[in-house]
């Protein structure tokens, strides 16, 4: 009992001492800070955000202006809510603000060191960014992968059809994610990962699910850095397990690829993994070869981006809206289908039909969600 009381008292004393230290430090620099609401002791403005933080920040911006200062635990944050202020800061001080805060979870297995999203500005970041743009997003590369996307959509339709026959209800967003997961698998590794014949696919998919969940979990250690060593919510431990599992699987893919290259086996099309492994710099100065470890992290990050995109895209809502307005969609597409003498659609149809964008303005998405026959 006495030992527990002593430990509790020591922790309280440590917390109070740290609070006073950060408070004095902040007070000394108050003259340089933008306006903002007064925070609570120790926690700052954490409890002021409410259940809808973005709406709270908008309301605070009306009171304190487009640039304001908030304190979240021991972290000082500048909130920018106008294009003019953002332009002034990032146009004139882009190098100053080019870095990115690395959360405690993303330091698991040193993930942040090879990541494009979390690595600090420098030669490595510039190299990886340039490779991603030139090999993944330029029109020429996008057009070269049309057949991969068509194959993925055909498989997705087959999955949805089978699910509807056996279950009745269909979660469209889930199957879109599986399709995108396989598409990234083909772009990165030239293979389908969600497939009955793939032993690693389900395991890798599960690892990405756990990784995304742990990465998105609010972590008290990010707001109170002195708690990082304790990892009170075990967030970093969960990330280490998920990232470690993903790293082991991708490392196996890379070893297979290196063996293929050493055997002299030629591929018809280079994927992103080939490009990362073959990169030798730009010919100026020493070769900035990308390490196998960095390649593993970059491959993981591409799959993580697919999961992040799924969680931020209301695919089921969009599907409900289209189904609710299906007769309008069919009517708008009929002239194109008749003219081209084919009963199916592809991405070129949607890219060329500007009037399809107006379909989303018809009705209310909530009407589609309330119609239970679609779910």
What is residue 24's predicted lDDT score, i.e. its pLDDT?
56
CA 329/CA 363 separation, integer angstroms:
13
Per residue in 120-146, pLDDT tens? 888 888 899 999 999 888 888 888 888
CA 301/CA 218 separation, integer angstroms:
20
What is residue 35's predicted lDDT score, i.e. its pLDDT?
92
Cα–Cα distance list, 88 to 57, 61, 236, 358 (Å): 20, 18, 36, 35
Sign, Cα dihedral of 332, 336, 342, 348: negative
Regions of the chain where pLDDT drops below 50: 285-287, 355, 358-375
SS3 string of the chain? CHHHHHHHHHHHHHHHHHHHHHHHHHHHCHHHCCCCCCCECCCECHHHCCCCHHHHHHHHHHHHCCEEEEEECCEEEEEECCHHHHHHHHHHCCCCCCCCCCCCHHHHHHHHHHCCCCCCCCHHHHHHHHHHHHHHHCHHHHHHCHHHHHHHHHHHHHHHHHHHHHHCCCCHHHHHHHHHHHHHHHHHHCCCCCCCCCCHHHHHHHHHHHHHHHHCCCCHHHHCHHHCCCCCCCHHHHHHHHHHHHHHHHHHHHHHHHHHHHCCCCCCCCCHHHHHHHCCCCCCCCCCCCCHHHHHHHHHHHHHHHHHHHHHCCHHHHHHHHHHCHHHHHHHHHHHHHHHCCCCCCHHHHHHCHHHHHHHHCCCHHHHHHCHHHC
Per residue in 170-220, pLDDT tens? 777 778 888 888 888 889 988 888 765 566 677 888 888 888 888 888 899
What is residue 69's predicted lDDT score, i.e. its pLDDT?
92
Per residue in 345-369, pLDDT tens? 666 655 555 545 544 444 443 343 3
Cβ atoms within 10 Å, residue 31: 6
Q: Could you tell me the two tokens for 13?
A: 């004393």
- With CA atoms as reference, report the closest residue to 86 among 122, 53, 107, 61: 61
The domain limits of the chain are 36-97, 123-312, 315-374
Q: Could you tell me which CATH number the domain at 123-312 has?
A: 1.10.630.10
CA 349/CA 329 separation, integer angstroms:
13
0.85 surpassed by pTM: no
What is residue 19's predicted lDDT score, i.e. its pLDDT?
57
Backbone φ and ψ for 194, nearest 5 degrees, come out as: -100, 90
Structural contact between residues 251 and 296, judged by C-beta atoms closer than 8 angstroms: yes
Burial per residue of 70-93, b for 16 or more beta-carbon CB atoms within 10 angstroms, e otherwise: bbbbbebeebbbeeebeeeeeeee
Structural contact between residues 60 and 45, judged by C-beta atoms closer than 8 angstroms: no
Cβ atoms within 10 Å, residue 34: 15
What is residue 370's predicted lDDT score, i.e. its pLDDT?
41
Q: Could you tell me the two tokens for 76?
A: 């000082």
Crossing angle for the helix pair 315-324 and 326-340, to the nearest 10 degrees:
80
């Amino acid at each position: 009992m006495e030992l527990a009381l002593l430990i509790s008292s020591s922790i309280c004393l440590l917390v109070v001492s740290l609070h006073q230290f950060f408070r004095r430090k902040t007070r000394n620099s108050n003259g340089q800070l933008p306006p903002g609401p007064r925070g609570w002791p120790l926690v700052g403005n954490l409890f002021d955000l409410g259940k809808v933080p973005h709406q709270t920040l908008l309301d605070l911006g009306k009171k304190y202006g487009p640039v304001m200062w908030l304190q979240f635990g021991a972290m000082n944050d500048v909130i920018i809510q106008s294009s003019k202020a953002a332009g002034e800061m990032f146009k004139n001080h882009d190098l100053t603000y080019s870095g990115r805060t690395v959360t405690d979870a993303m330091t698991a297995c040193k993930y942040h060191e090879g990541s494009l999203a979390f690595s600090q500005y420098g030669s490595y970041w510039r190299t990886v960014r340039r490779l991603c743009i030139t090999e993944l997003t330029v029109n020429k590369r996008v057009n070269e992968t049309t057949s991969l996307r068509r194959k993925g959509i055909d498989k997705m339709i087959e999955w949805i059809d089978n699910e509807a026959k056996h279950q009745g209800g269909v979660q469209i967003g889930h199957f879109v994610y599986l399709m995108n997961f396989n598409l990234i698998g083909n772009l990165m590794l030239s293979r389908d990962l969600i497939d009955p014949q793939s032993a690693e696919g389900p395991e890798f998919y599960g690892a990405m699910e756990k990784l995304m969940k742990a990465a998105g979990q609010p972590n008290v250690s990010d707001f109170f850095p002195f708690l990082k060593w304790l990892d009170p919510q075990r967030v970093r431990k969960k990330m280490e397990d998920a990232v470690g599992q993903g790293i082991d699987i991708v490392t196996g893919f890379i070893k297979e690829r290196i063996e293929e290259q050493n055997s002299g086996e030629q591929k018809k099309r280079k994927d992103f993994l080939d490009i990362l492994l073959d990169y030798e710099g730009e010919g100026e100065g020493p070769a900035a070869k990308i390490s196998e470890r960095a390649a593993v992290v970059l491959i993981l990050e591409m799959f993580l981006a697919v999961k992040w995109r799924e969680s931020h895209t209301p695919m089921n809502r969009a599907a409900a809206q289209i189904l609710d307005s299906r007769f309008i969609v069919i009517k708008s597409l009929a002239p194109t289908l008749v003219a081209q003498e084919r009963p199916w659609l592809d991405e070129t149809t949607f890219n060329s039909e500007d009037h399809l964008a107006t379909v989303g303005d018809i009705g209310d998405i909530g009407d589609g969600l309330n119609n239970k026959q679609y779910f």
